[in-house]
Amino acid sequence: MSNYNEKFMNFHQMEIDERILKAIARLGWKSPTLIQVKAIPLLLEGKDVLVRARTGSGKTAAFLIPIIHKILVNKQNASEQNTSVLILAPSKDLCHQTIKVIENLTVKCGRLVQFIDLASKMDKTVLKHMLTERPDIIVSTPAKLISQLKEGNLISKESLQSLVIDEADLMFSFGFENDLREIFNYFPYIYQSILASATLDKDVLSLKKITLHNPVILKLEEAELAPNTQLSHYHILAEESDKAAILYTLFKLQLIKGKTLIFVNCIDRCYRLFYRLKLFLEQFNIRSCILNSELPVSIRCHTVNQFNQGLYDIIIASDELHVINPMGESSAQKKVKTKKIFKEVDGEAGVSRGIDFQFVSNVINFDFPRDVNVYIHRAGRTARGNSLGNVLSFVDMNERSYLDTVHEHLKNSLNTKENVIRNYLFKMDEVEPFRYRARDAWRTVTKFSIRESRIKEIKTEIVNSDKLKSFFDENPRDLQALRHDRSLHTIKVQEHLGDVPEYIVPNSLRHITAITNNKQKYGKKKSYDKVNNPLLVSGIDYAKKRRV
């Protein structure tokens, strides 16, 4: 390993190209994460590396920074343009996310570093033309890459220098092992290989033997999640009928602040629950958006970008490929089910894993996850970097056993005897008027209204589709028929429900409601002192601003 002081190592001390350093400064990255400090010097030396670090540790930048640096160095003496790097990811979303990071890191390089995302939807002729230009970096899912290799659209293997397999533990679980083995046949005998993974299971270790040569294994000695000083865990014991009422109350009383991910389990009611929650919250002027694998990848990526840009503060999401595996199943049973679901959802991973949600303050488990790993990956969406975060879980009687299992696992992982998932005591009798409102609103969201709302969304997607634009230009009557179809009976949003009358607010929280009214009237938000809240008993550390 290179001689460097890890404790005080910074980006400018790693001998990285100046253009990359300017891009890093533009991104606001003040200092590298631990995995970046350890991995970047090794990758710059050309070593094969197996990177294992928890979600949110900065693995993507850890391998992209040295890759881009080496491309810039090789450009100085290169006689022709060639593809030198292949990056594989298990889903279209992760490919798109990787491309965005590459764009950000090469923003000061002009057009010197060229790259392409094979997983994105584009015309075959356009794609073939772009590949003939031999971009420096190709990002793809294994299946997409194999199809291009078989068609002979990629360059000879002599120019390939680096292979990156991101989220390597998901590659085998999602049935990509045969594609990976075939891809290796197109590589030269000597090349640099990088595996990045959140876990080191048997499949990853077998993949390591196939593709890595005398590798350095970076397995950070860290907990699966951020420590309790950074990430707080709470649970509320609530039956199914009260979950929506509690959620509405927490939002309207400003007990939940900041960007929030609400997770539901992917079971038979999942699709219906998505829209029921969204329409329920809309009645109280609480805007949210939906993210699941049934949506087209372009819409999913657009939704994540809108959330990251602050256009939405709430996303309702699911874990299609995780929560269908209850705790206690063998790894073989788990893999068979995962592959089956993987095919059904067109090869898209659940959103608790891999997708880069930025600045998430809270994760709310509307349904408690049925697997420890699902809880960990959901919780990993918040408290990233040095930021604070909270996980709040609703638990009904049928989910108590899952809570106990996760709690014991977290205690062992964090090496503590104290309660990790603290009880968030919610006194429902203090906010009875909120429950009346919530129950009425919940009942109005029927199967019929959910269907009508989904039809409305599909019509909007069709009208705004770029692919159908030429069709509608040639068939204007079809467009008019679509726009003037029967009126849809969606939920009627009553504006007054968005306000919280002072008389229904507990006495200790009326100063918060007053702030909300002042903000609506004058456009200003006054500061206020945090006081003991009768709804939250021994749940919040106000001195450290640990409010959910």
For residue 336, give the amino acid letter: V
Whether residue 409 is predicted with pLDDT greater than 60 in this model: the reply is: yes
Band of the pLDDT at 192, cuts 50, 70, 90? very high
- Per domain, the residue ranges of the chain are 6-219, 231-445+491-544
Q: What percent of the chain has pLDDT over 70?
A: 78
Residue 2 has what pLDDT?
40
For 314, the token pair is: 């709430």
For 45, the token pair is: 């030396």
Nearest to 142 by CA among 180, 173, 115: 180
Q: What are phi and psi of 317, to 5 degrees?
A: -135, 170
Whether residue 540 is predicted with pLDDT greater than 90 in this model: the reply is: no
Residue predicted with more confidence, 203 or 320? 203
Q: What mean pLDDT is predicted for residues 298-326?
A: 72
- Residues 353/356/358/364 CA torsion (nearest 10 deg): -20
Query: Alpha carbon of 507 to those of 255, 426, 431, 504, 526: distances in Å?
Result: 15, 16, 11, 9, 19
Query: Domain 231-445+491-544 is in which class?
Result: alpha beta
Instruction: Read off the pLDDT of residues 101-119 as tens digits, 9 standing for 90 and up.
Output: 999 999 999 889 999 999 8
Helix pair angle (18-27, 59-75), 10° resolution: 150
Mean pLDDT of the chain: 79
Residue 117 has what pLDDT?
94
Q: Which helix (H) or strand (E) holds 382?
A: none
The fold for domain 6-219 equals Rossmann fold (3.40.50)
Instruction: Read off the pLDDT of residues 176-191 as tens digits, 9 standing for 90 and up.
Output: 878 888 888 888 878 8
Nearest to 356 by CA among 303, 319, 318, 311: 303
- Which 3 state secondary structure label does DSSP give 432? helix
Contact 95, 119 (CB under 8 A): yes
- Which 3 state secondary structure label does DSSP give 143? helix
**Helix, strand, coil % over all residues of the chain, rounded to 5:** 45, 10, 40
Query: Alpha carbon of 340 to those of 174, 182, 332: distances in Å?
Result: 9, 22, 13
Query: Alpha carbon of 495 to those of 163, 357, 431, 452, 515: distances in Å?
Result: 55, 30, 21, 21, 19
Query: CA 81 to CA 62: how far, in whole Å?
Result: 25
Whether residue 430 is predicted with pLDDT greater than 70 in this model: the reply is: yes
Q: What mean pLDDT is predicted for residues 31-56?
A: 88
Classify residue 363 by its DSSP letter.
E
Contact 468, 497 (CB under 8 A): no
Contact 226, 531 (CB under 8 A): no
Residue 267 has what pLDDT?
55
Contact 522, 496 (CB under 8 A): no
Residue predicted with more confidence, 277 or 464? 277
Contact 388, 259 (CB under 8 A): no
Query: CA 455 to CA 451: how far, in whole Å?
Result: 6
